[in-house]
Structure 1
Amino acid sequence: MSTDADFADARHIPPIPPRPPQQPPVTAAPRPNTDPRTTVLRRVPSPPPAPPTRAQAAQPPADPTPPQRPTPPAAPAVPPRPAAPPPAPPTAQPPRPHQAPGSPAPAAPPPPRRPDSFRDTAAFHLANSQELWNGNGEPGAGAPPRARRPASATPSAAPGSEPPTPAAERPPQPPWPQRPLPHQTAGAVPGMPAGPRPRPSAGRRPGARLAAAAACLVLGIGLIGGAAAGSWLTDDSADAPPTPEAAFAAGRDVWRNTPVDTLFPRTVEGLGVGPGGADRTWTRIAVARDSGCTGAYDRPLAQALTGAGCVRLLRATYLDATRSSVITVGAQTAKADAAGMIALNTRFSTKNLGSRTDLMPLPYAPEGTPAEGFGRAQRASWTVRVLTDIPVIVFAVSGFADGRTVSAPQSAEAAVRPGATTAPAESGLGHDAKDLADRIAADFRTASGISSHTTESSP
């Protein structure tokens, strides 16, 4: 394989054949370069020819008739390049005046400049490949067809071309363009200019961030407010009183679900409930076992309460702070519904059943207590309350703790009236029966989940 170093010596340079005149190339219609991805290198103009040397001037002139350019074959075979250039044929030169005849001729002086680079270069092929890039892969009309060279073949000078010029004397090639190619996205919209989409200006970003922050703040405040409102509503619903139906149903199971000390406290304080507004205090001394209503009333009162029915009966006996009076308080859980309790309360109120002495409840007097002498004859005042918001009938009966008999008992509602001068009224037995009955009724209502108040008129 030969290199440019083989031609460094002027003695090995082969003679330069005459250059045939160039024929005007067949130019094709220029095609607009619309492909932004291809950059075409322009053809570098060749320098002017060097002046002929003396040897060339002594040669006879070449035939002015231009030789016919042979048609290149479809796939011309590249002849192998010799390992060493052939020796130059001797040329006849006129003897110089100072040279003796028959002496060897001196070597010809080297040419003033290296021949131009041959056309088989990358720049030449790039300049002629514009039609291949812009067209459908076929060479242009003005470019002659070229045969492909195998990749393994070594590039060599074409026949009739000039030897390659050393790299130091070659003309500089134009620099490769540094402008980046426009970016094309896969989803480009037809009719829109190619290239990257314009980014929003930096002046709009703070506004968008501020709007997003404000939206997040409003959303956070809304969530916090909703949670607070939900908690407030939940607390209110938990603290809200039950519906009348729910309270009535709960009152039926109070005797089973509530401790006895809640329904019948051990000590009851009555502030300003005694005669003349005096304070009263009662202490529980006995509690009866829960039982049915059979034998707990006299016959007339049992018949009056038959319409309500009986689920359970609870009773307890109290002693006042002066140990002069005893009071029995009872609560009967009824089977009737709300309408039945209202009807029974109306009957007691309109017919004055609560003021009849034959309808007085019986006392609970266990032995061994201060109330063991409390019997039917010792009853001095009483009251019967038919509650309408819960199915409970509350009653109370009072008497003297020393066991004395009372010949003229009086209802609690009549004994607490101002100006009453009867023994139950002046001794405070009417106040004891009324106030303890009110307190036990309030305890049953509270255990049922409703506020304690008195809605029934005293019969």
Structure 2
Amino acid sequence: MSPDPALSWSASLGAFGGGVRPVVALGEPEGYDEHGRARPLGGRLRTRTAVAVACVVLGAGLIGGAVTGSWLTGDEGSPGAPGGFAAASTLWHSVPVDQLFPPTVQGTGAGPGGADRTWTRVAVAPDSGCAGAFDPLLRKALAPVGCARLLRATYTDATQSYVTTVGLLFTKADAPAMSALAARFKTEGLDRRTDLMPRPYAAKGTVAAAFGDRQRASWTIHVLTEAPVIVYAVSGWADGRTVDTPQPAADALRAGATTAAAQAGLGNEAQGLADRIERGLRRNNAGTATEKPS
């Protein structure tokens, strides 16, 4: 419901006092020039006032742009800002699945050598808790932030040669706890340990039906600090072949990497899809700050 215009700051005082607000006219103040002669200062004051107002407006615009831009560019945002940390925790049930996990995801320049990629969604897991979704050691590593909800979807590439599961783990943690976990993953290299790989989601009757734990070839895990969310992806071959030496996506993407996962571009599959799902999450969260109430 729109606010009553009579209750706004610009309304006449008559609405409260029963009369019309008196108008008081003030003469222009006088100053002195370099010769000691009196002259009005109204023009200078008006100019200074206009400049001050412009600065305030420009500053407000920059601040507002920064709040929204922080989520879109990956910079840390203010936990209490609209569309920031608190709002992100509700996205799992307030945003349609087709926005979080689009049926088709375009990966311009995401493949090996900057080749384009197109991923098609083949399955979406029912939203759930985290029981059974992670290997025991990874579950232990993630325990400090808790598990509020887990969303997962599995995609295949245009040739149906590869399959990739991408997940959004919505935690129960506050901003300091997420920052602490992100720091631990970075300093201890937890995102590169093969005993901390996330598990894939294999859906019967799809090209990903044989995508199990032994088929994991490459993966990435990103602990966000500006939202209570962990984004991850794990990729493998669609033909069900097992992998003896899985490799983290960050290593598989390095120039000169010679592992099977790197040569096949499975690091690109995991990293590229995770990046684009994360960008979509940021856009959806930024949108919560601009939605108008119905």
Same fold (TM over 0.5): yes
C-alpha distance in structure 1 between counterparts of 2:215 and 2:201, whole Å: 12
Mapped pair 1:290 → 2:116: no
Q: Which runs of 5+ in 1 are unaligned?
A: 1-217, 451-459
CA–CA separation in structure 1 for the residues paired with 2:186 and 2:59: 41
In structure 1, the residue matched to 2:35 is: none
Match of 2:213, SS state, is coil
The DSSP-based 3-state class of the residue aligned with 2:93 is: helix
Q: State whether structure 2 residue 78 is matched by structure 1 residue 244.
A: yes
Alpha-carbon distance, 1:235 to partner: 9.3
- 1:346-395 per-residue CA deviation (whole Å, 9 max, x = no partner) reads 11111111111111111101101110011011111111110111110011
* Bigger radius of gyration among the two: 1
Q: Residue type matched to 1:438 in 2? A: D
Aligned-residue RMSD, C-alpha = 2.5
Equivalent of residue 377 in structure 1, options 214, 235, 239: 214
Amino acid at match of 2:283: T
2:259 is aligned with 1:259: no
**How far 1:290 sits from its partner (Å)?**
0.7
Kindly state the Cα deviation for residue 233 of structure 1 after the two structures are TM-superposed: 7.3
Which residue of structure 2 lines up, in the alignment, with residue 127 of structure 1?
none
Q: 1:401 aligns with which of 238, 252, 259?
A: 238
Alignment partners' CA distance in 1, 2:282 and 2:65: 16
Higher strand share: 2
The secondary structure found in structure 2 opposite 1:314 is strand
Residue 336 of structure 1 is matched in structure 2 by: 173
Q: Report what 2:23 is aligned to.
A: none
Bigger CA drift: 246-255 or 323-332? 246-255
Secondary structure, aligned partner of 1:241:
helix
> What is residue 270 of structure 2 aligned with on the other side?
433
Q: For 1:307 and 1:329, locate their aligned partners in 2 and report how far apart those are by CA, in whole Å.
A: 22
**Structure-2 separation of matches of 1:442 and 1:387:** 12
Moved more, 379-388 or 270-279: 270-279
Matches within 5 A, 1:97-116: none
The Cα shift of 1:241 comes to 2.3
Cα displacement (A) at 1:240: 5.8
Separation of aligned partners in 2, 1:343 and 1:390: 13
Q: Which amino acid aligns with 1:333?
A: F
Judge conservation of contact 1:380–1:409 (CA < 8 Å) in 2.
yes
Q: Which runs of 4+ in 1 moved over 2 A?
A: 232-243
Q: Among 307, 310, 332, which residue is 2:147 paired with?
A: 310
Equivalent residue for 2:37? none
Q: Aligned to 2:253, which of 398, 416, 431?
A: 416
CA displacement 1:221-276 (0-9 Å, x = unmatched): 99xx9xx97xx779948766256122011111111211111111111111122111
Q: Give the TM-score taking structure 2 as reference length.
A: 0.72
Residues 20-419 of structure 1 aligned to structure 2 (within 5 Å): 236=61, 241=67, 244-245=78-79, 246=81, 247-419=84-256
Task: Identify if the C-alpha distance between structure 1 residues 239 and 415 changes in structure 2 by more than 3 Å, giving closer, same or farther.
Answer: closer
Distance 2:65 2:261 in 1: 42
Secondary structure in 2 matching 1:310: coil
- State how far apart, in whole Å, the 1-side matches of 2:207 and 2:264 are: 18
Count of residue pairs the alignment pairs up:
229
Alpha carbons 1:361, 1:397 under 8 Å: kept: yes
Tell me the distance in 2 between the aligned counterparts of 1:239 and 1:427: 40
Tell me, in whole angstroms, the C-alpha distance in 2 between the residues paired with 1:234 and 1:418.
Answer: 43
> Alignment identity in percent?
57
Say whether the 8 Å CA contact 1:390–1:445 is kept in structure 2: no
The whole-number CA distance in structure 2 between the counterparts of 1:344 and 1:240 is 25
Secondary structure at the aligned position of 2:110 is classed as coil
- Once the two structures are superposed, residues 66-121 of structure 1 have per-residue CA deviations (whole angstroms, 9 ceiling, x without a partner) of xxxxxxxxxxxxxxxxxxxxxxxxxxxxxxxxxxxxxxxxxxxxxxxxxxxxxxxx
Paired residues of 2:107 and 2:276 also in contact (CA < 8 A): no
Which one has the bigger helix percentage? 2
Partner of 1:53: none
**AA paired with 2:67?**
P
CA distance in 2, matches of 1:361, 1:320: 20
The one-letter code of the counterpart of 2:162 is: S
Letter in 2 for 1:291: S
SS of the residue corresponding to residue 345 of structure 1 reads helix
Q: CA separation in 2, counterparts of 1:235 and 1:336?
A: 31
Shift of residue 319, structure 1, vs aligned partner: 0.5
Asked if the contact 1:285–1:318 (Cα under 8 Å) also holds between the matched residues in 2, the reply is: yes
SS for the counterpart of 1:350 is helix
By relative contact order (CA 8 Å, sep 6+), the higher-ranking structure is 2
Cα gap change, 1:240 to 1:300, in 2 (>3 Å):
closer
